[in-house]
Amino acid sequence: MSGLCGWVSLEPPGLPIEDMAAPFTSHLASSRPLRSAGHSLGAVALAARHDEASLYHQDGLLIVHWGERVEVLAQLWRTHGARACAALSGHFAFALLDERRGEALVAVDRCATRPLFYQMAGRSLLFASSGEALARHPGAGRTVDPQALFDYLYLHAVHGPRTMFAGQRRLAPGECLHLHGGRVERIRYWRMRYTEHAVEPAPQTELLDALTCALDCASDAGAALMLGGGCAGTLLATLLQRGAGQPVHSYAVGFGVGGERQLAGARMAARRIGSRHRERLLAPDDVADAVAALARQGDAPCGEPGAVAMLYAAQMAREDGHGRLHGGFGAAQLFGCGRHAALARTSRYERLPGALRQLAIEPLLFGLGAQLPGAFERVRARIEQALQPPLVRLRRRNALLALGAANVFEPAFLELVDPDAPAARQEETWWLAQARSAANRAVDLELQGELPCRILPAFSAACAAAGMQPVLPYLDDAVVAMAARLAPHHKSGKGARRLFVRALGEIGAGLPAAQRAPVLPFGRWLQGDARLRALAYDSLSGLARRRILHREFVDLLLARRLPEDPATHGETVWRLMMLEQWLARGRRDGFGLETDRSAAALVQA
């Protein structure tokens, strides 16, 4: 595990900076030494390879910088001050302490590919790339936030700025903190601005140019790539192979019986590309092992079941001698194929002529055909959904609300939370988006919540558990800018697939079959594997002992709901299980889950 941490304070430090950085050094390889420095304004520490991050200390300016060209950042700061962030490019996270000016700046890049947590402790500003490292400071929050637990189960992740610890906050994509004049100012230095009526003669060419610029093919050992067989991954692998001096190493993961068929798309893509391809079929025991490995990583529970495949792909790459793993993550979110894509699809009904809807379609379906079953019933349901505002549709699709919060949680726990807060946060993100169309607003929901808070932490945790560094070409500034310029019709329905198919055709690559990436059949395996079922039951029982869940709900979920719909309720069990595993890890590792009276039940096993 690698990272950075430190504080800005004129008061005596509460602990040595090396103690705060202990989570980064507990399993540190010799290639990632701990570097630290300090002056009268504060102190910083960095655990990373020299080619990953830099520590700059010159003329009273102290910078700990994850990314490239720290000298450029130093010059931009001296020239432009806090406006330097807007002039930076690439993936970065940094903290800058200027002793002469008496100012500090803490920032993350436009997609928050590397997280930064912070907290004000009296007159001190604490920061770290790990919530665990931040919690080691005596002035930091060590109490689990009940609202964060509820948000995690509602949203499948803890969306920023909230974190799992009360008092700690997380920088949003394109955000920085500027400490000056004795106060701390949060600044959103960048926001995605969407073009709603773009006319691109060849958007696939723009995509190819942007992605080619994003790829780094300098590795002597050949690039390593997680390959699912879809269009985005195939395009990434093809461009990697064309730019590399040696064959690309591709890795695919399937699940159990039938996994060979799941991997057919990845195998075919690898054959066409000419990559050195490895596959692994996982069994339930592999998933149980992965749960323990993933629970040891991350600053929040891993609510993404796909992290299991990410972990084993990273392990295969590590076995082959690689240090970095490329992933196509971010493509689905940027190009309208994420979890919220349905918000744009159903809104297409509103674009039909009003006379056609009101005088023909709706009288037929809701008048003459109101009692007709089958296809008429399905169409009526779709239209009823389309007539609702997007945010109402978003709430109706939420699995937690479908079960009923009062039926799931203990009354004492519900008294500690605001059940409407997660939906309010999504609504705020929806309306703050610099976009008009539902397609672009849905993309912004993904980029502000799903991507930085669920997908990227899962990939980072999987890579960290395997001793790898994640590489995310689709989140390069050029690709993000290209997606912002793309017309909304390319981000709804089958528009994104057509875009990638055309891009593959332009470079003469074979077209992948229209199939989904392998999905962990967690719900089905829970019913048939004794070890996995025992792990899930013990975990959910732990949440009941903490007085978070109703005991009756745990029994109902595992005995009745799960067999009825293994896919949907299997994901619910996964999130609950990983929450208990994360809470249990906190007590074992001793990074201090302190309690107060109101939240004591959350940590009592």
pLDDT in tens, 254-308: 998 766 777 888 888 899 888 999 999 999 999 999 999 999 888 899 999 999 9
Per-residue 3-state assignment (H helix, E strand, C coil) for 411-459 = HHHHCCCCCCHHHHHHHHHHHHCECCCHHHHHHHHHHHHHHHHHHHHHH
pLDDT digits (tens, 9 = 90+) for 389-445: 777 777 777 777 788 899 999 999 999 999 999 989 999 999 999 998 888 999 999
pLDDT band at 459 (very low <50, low <70, confident <90, very high): very high
Listed in sequence order, the residues at least 6 apart from 209 whose beta carbon sits closer than 8 Å to its beta carbon are 478
pTM above 0.85, yes or no: yes
Instruction: Quickly list DSSP for 180-199.
Output: ETTEEEEEE----B--SS--
What's residue 595's pLDDT?
A: 44
Cα distances (angstroms) measured from residue 561 to each of 203, 406, 566 = 45, 17, 8
DSSP 8-class letter at 174: T
The interaxial angle of helices 456-465 and 284-295, nearest 10 deg, is 100
Chain position carrying tokens 């709804």: 492
Helix (H) or strand (E) holding 511: none
Give me the phi and psi of 45, to 5 degrees please: -140, 150
Q: Residues for the chain: how many in total?
A: 605
Strand order in the sheet with 61-66: 53-58, 61-66, 93-98, 103-108, 175-180, 183-188
Q: How far apart are CA 360 and CA 148, in angstroms?
A: 47
Q: What mean pLDDT do residues 246-251 have? A: 91
Q: What mean pLDDT do residues 462-491 have? A: 92
pLDDT at 587 over 80: no
Q: Same topology for domains 3-188 and 203-337+444-506, yes or no?
A: no
Q: Report the number of secondary-structure helices (H) and strands (E) in the chain.
A: 31, 17
pLDDT at 218 over 60: no
Judged by average pLDDT, the poorest of 77-86, 197-206, 275-284, 582-591 is 582-591
pLDDT at 524 over 90: yes
Q: How far apart are CA 66 and CA 461, in angstroms?
A: 17
Looking at per-residue confidence, does 14 or 145 come out higher? 145
Q: What mean pLDDT do residues 200-216 have? A: 87
What tokens appear for 330 in the block? 């971010």
What's residue 461's pLDDT?
A: 94
Averaged confidence pLDDT in the chain? 87
Q: What mean pLDDT do residues 494-501 have? A: 86
What's residue 245's pLDDT?
A: 72
For the four alpha carbons of 70, 75, 78 and 83, in that order, the dihedral sign comes to negative
Q: Coil, helix or strand for 249?
A: strand
Closest CA to 443 of 107, 68, 135, 191: 191
pLDDT digits (tens, 9 = 90+) for 320-360: 999 999 999 999 999 987 777 777 666 566 777 878 777 77
Give yes or no for a contact between 53 and 20, defined as CB atoms under 8 angstroms apart: no
What's residue 514's pLDDT?
A: 61
Per-residue 3-state assignment (H helix, E strand, C coil) for 17-39 = HHHHCHHHHCCCCCCCCEEEEEE
pLDDT band at 540 (very low <50, low <70, confident <90, very high): very high
Q: What mean pLDDT do residues 535-551 have? A: 95
What tokens appear for 3 in the block? 């990272």
The interaxial angle of helices 284-295 and 307-319, nearest 10 deg, is 90
What's residue 28's pLDDT?
A: 46
The residue ranges of every structural domain in the chain are 3-188, 203-337+444-506, 522-603
What's residue 582's pLDDT?
A: 94
Q: Of the spans 234-243, 262-271, 527-536, which averages the highest pLDDT?
A: 527-536
Q: What mean pLDDT do residues 120-148 have? A: 91
Strand partners, 46: 4, 35
Q: What mean pLDDT do residues 578-582 have? A: 95
What tokens appear for 266 in the block? 């990845």
- How many CB atoms are closer than 10 A to CB 555? 14
pLDDT at 196 over 80: yes
Quote the CATH superfamily of domain 3-188: Aminohydrolase, N-terminal nucleophile (Ntn) domain (3.60.20.10)
Which CATH number applies to 203-337+444-506? 3.40.50.620
With b meaning 16 or more CB within 10 Å and e meaning fewer, what string describes 134-145? bbbbebbbbbbb
Listed in sequence order, the residues at least 6 apart from 529 whose beta carbon sits closer than 8 Å to its beta carbon are 284, 285
Q: Which amino acid is at 80?
A: H
Q: Which amino acid is at 503?
A: A
Burial of 228 (0-12, 13-18, 19+ CB in 10 A): buried
Cα distances (angstroms) measured from residue 389 to each of 334, 343, 357, 440 = 22, 9, 17, 15
Q: What mean pLDDT do residues 60-83 have? A: 93
- How many CB atoms are closer than 10 A to CB 59? 10
What's residue 149's pLDDT?
A: 95
What tokens appear for 147 in the block? 């609202």
pLDDT at 63 over 50: yes
What's residue 153's pLDDT?
A: 94
Judged by average pLDDT, the poorest of 7-21, 96-110, 284-298, 471-485 is 7-21
pLDDT band at 515 (very low <50, low <70, confident <90, very high): low
Closest CA to 93 of 27, 157, 29, 6: 6
Q: Are strands 276-282 and 183-188 parallel, antiparallel or unpaired?
A: unpaired
Q: What mean pLDDT do residues 219-229 have? A: 78
Listed in sequence order, the residues at least 6 apart from 531 whose beta carbon sits closer than 8 Å to its beta carbon are 284, 285, 288
Q: How far apart are CA 29 and CA 391, in angstroms?
A: 47
What's residue 597's pLDDT?
A: 45
Cα distances (angstroms) measured from residue 352 to each of 84, 355, 357, 584 = 46, 9, 7, 53
pLDDT digits (tens, 9 = 90+) for 227-237: 988 889 999 99
